[in-house]
A and B are shown apart, each in its own frame.
Chain A
């Protein structure tokens, strides 16, 4: 039997770095802003996979592609909150699947460190989360992004004015 090759539609182009962070307007209510740091390896293939499978990306989410989840240090996380992000997500590879060895571990360590600072500032730790995926888990990434946006909508606007 001949093996049939099923062509998938061409992947949607990844959003450029300069994409305007518009969010979704719902009447006059506040628009939630979520920042997701995506590791270049498994999470990024999940993300392009979302485009291939035609899954919608929540408009509230702005994605920054980094070479490793471990690159996102405390200073970058604080900078995201300083600029007015209501929620920040670090998306990395599974702990045994890291290209660089210790990326997810470092990311978790950085998040724990940032939690303590957010606690002093009076920001809820639910606003910051780490997620990990294997390269084929596009559906999981999609549902988690939507869930995270919903959760941040529940928490409401950040008290930081982001000027």
Chain B
């Protein structure tokens, strides 16, 4: 590991590992450790300090972490553990080794391909004619990877593109005609967390220029990961980044609920449970709005489970890194919890949670007992 950018000392310093008090709250909070895997962030940190990152335990650890940030939230001394893992992955990739990716790294390949300046995509085939969009304007609706998900995960029969359609329908209802880009590039969240810092920087530059070319000032997105990336990571990578990122829940709240817009919602006689996403739990205000919005739907019975909101657990895989036995255990636990709460519908806020949970539902026969849907789609169903 001679040509790596960051030394271990710097990584340890930046993530604050020496502040660790050895209390073990990180292991207690970790969804992977909960499923029975011998997985201890403290032990990995100690081994890295003692022996460096060539230890087999450490190597397995780096690619098994979900980077969900549950331990970051629990740590009394503020150790940034998910950042620590991300920087170790970066060091790993910089040394020329390949990471451990799910789906053969195909989704990450797609992102790297999108960082080419010359690419002319053909991704807006899903747009129905009745939806009004503009080619230039101040507000952009960021579709994200949804068209690619639908094609790549065709076998799941899960139409994630419906989230984009419903989001645009709601935005039109709010009298917003957003810009939708035919050559929109991925936000690069997964490249960043999978440790491909250079690929991410390239993608971010292209993406920013593409968005700026259309005169955009505000990005509205329905994906928590895109929101997190635009809010937290882009300003760190691009010095001149001046775009505002908003989640669609905030836009709906601003325009429909709090504003003077007339709003009539159909009653939906359903009992639902929420599945928060890891990245959205960084923004408590957004997850509060998410609950407030769906609380407006008449006859919608919301039953919270212990793993909601701040106690949210990951859907089992993030950034297309590693999916295995323990991911499945996490997913089954979540599904069983929802069924035990008596809900017929699991309402998720992230398209990736939809994909991962639907995969487990298909494999383990949960489809008759439970359905899964995105919150935006549920709100659009209620909107007349």
Residue B260 CB within 8 A of the other chain = no
Q: With a CB–CB cut-off of 8 A, which chain A residues contact B116?
A: 159-162
Ordered nearest first, which 4 A-B pairs have the shortest CB separation? A75-B104, A75-B106, A159-B118, A161-B116
Q: With a CB–CB cut-off of 8 A, which chain B residues contact A78?
A: 106, 109-110, 113
Residue B120 CB within 8 A of the other chain = yes
Residue B74 CB within 8 A of the other chain = no
Residue B151 CB within 8 A of the other chain = yes
Q: With a CB–CB cut-off of 8 A, which chain A residues contact B110?
A: 78, 117, 121
CB distance from A112 to the nearest CB of B (A): 10
Residue B148 CB within 8 A of the other chain = yes
Query: How many angstroms from the CA of A159 to the CA of B123 in the assembled complex?
Result: 16
Residue of A81, A161, A162 with most chain B CB atoms under a 10 A cut-off: A161
Q: With a CB–CB cut-off of 8 A, which chain A residues contact B105?
A: 75, 79
A81 touches B120 (CB 8 A): no
Contacts A122-B119, A122-B121, A122-B122 given; indicate if A117 touches B112 (C-beta within 8 A): no
* 16 new A-B contacts at CB < 8 Å, known A78-B106, A161-B115: A73-B104, A74-B104, A75-B105, A79-B109, A81-B113, A82-B113, A113-B154, A116-B154, A119-B122, A121-B113, A122-B121, A122-B122, A159-B116, A159-B119, A160-B119, A163-B115
Q: With a CB–CB cut-off of 8 A, which chain A residues contact B202?
A: 163
Residue A20 CB within 8 A of the other chain = no
Query: How many angstroms from the CA of A120 to the CA of B104 in the assembled complex?
Result: 19
A75 touches B118 (CB 8 A): no
Contact with A along B299-322 (1 / 0, CB 8 A): 000000000000000000000000
Partner of B112, one of A73, A76, A82, A119: A82
Query: How many angstroms from the CA of A73 to the CA of B105 in the assembled complex?
Result: 11
Residue B152 CB within 8 A of the other chain = yes
A contact face: mostly helix, strand, loop, or mixed: helix
Contact with B along A110-148 (1 / 0, CB 8 A): 000100110111100000000000000000000000000
B151 touches A120 (CB 8 A): yes
- What count of chain B residues pass the 8 Å CB interface test? 25
| Residues 69 to 118 of chain A near chain B (Cβ within 8 Å) | 73-76, 78-79, 81-82, 113, 116-117
Residue of A nearest to B122 (CB): A122
A159 touches B120 (CB 8 A): yes
A74 touches B118 (CB 8 A): no
Q: With a CB–CB cut-off of 8 A, which chain A residues contact B120?
A: 122, 159
CB distance from B233 to the nearest CB of A (A): 20
| Residues 255 to 280 of chain B near chain A (Cβ within 8 Å) | none
CB distance from B351 to the nearest CB of A (A): 16
Q: With a CB–CB cut-off of 8 A, which chain A residues contact B151?
A: 113, 116-117, 120
Residue B117 CB within 8 A of the other chain = yes
Residue B369 CB within 8 A of the other chain = no
Partner of B104, one of A76, A81, A122, A162: A76
Residue of A nearest to B152 (CB): A117
Contact with A along B133-157 (1 / 0, CB 8 A): 0000000000000011001101000
Residue of B103, B104, B199, B202 with most chain A CB atoms under a 10 A cut-off: B104
Q: With a CB–CB cut-off of 8 A, which chain B residues contact A160?
A: 113, 116, 118-119
Q: With a CB–CB cut-off of 8 A, which chain B residues contact A163?
A: 112, 115, 199, 202
Partner of A120, one of B103, B106, B122, B199: B122
CB distance from A163 to the nearest CB of B (A): 7
Pairs across A and B, CB under 8 Å, 24 listed: A74-B152, A75-B106, A75-B109, A78-B106, A79-B105, A79-B109, A113-B154, A116-B154, A117-B110, A117-B148, A117-B152, A120-B123, A120-B147, A120-B148, A121-B119, A122-B119, A122-B121, A159-B116, A159-B118, A160-B116, A161-B117, A161-B118, A162-B116, A163-B112
Q: With a CB–CB cut-off of 8 A, which chain A residues contact B109?
A: 75, 78-79, 81-82
CB distance from A66 to the nearest CB of B (A): 14
Q: With a CB–CB cut-off of 8 A, which chain A residues contact B118?
A: 159-161
Q: With a CB–CB cut-off of 8 A, which chain B residues contact A73?
A: 104
Q: With a CB–CB cut-off of 8 A, which chain B residues contact A117?
A: 110, 148, 151-152
CB distance from B153 to the nearest CB of A (A): 11
CB distance from B295 to the nearest CB of A (A): 37
Query: How many angstroms from the CA of A120 to the CA of B114 in the assembled complex?
Result: 11
Q: With a CB–CB cut-off of 8 A, which chain B residues contact A161?
A: 115-118
Query: How many angstroms from the CA of A162 to the CA of B106 in the assembled complex?
Result: 15
Residue of B nearest to A157 (CB): B118
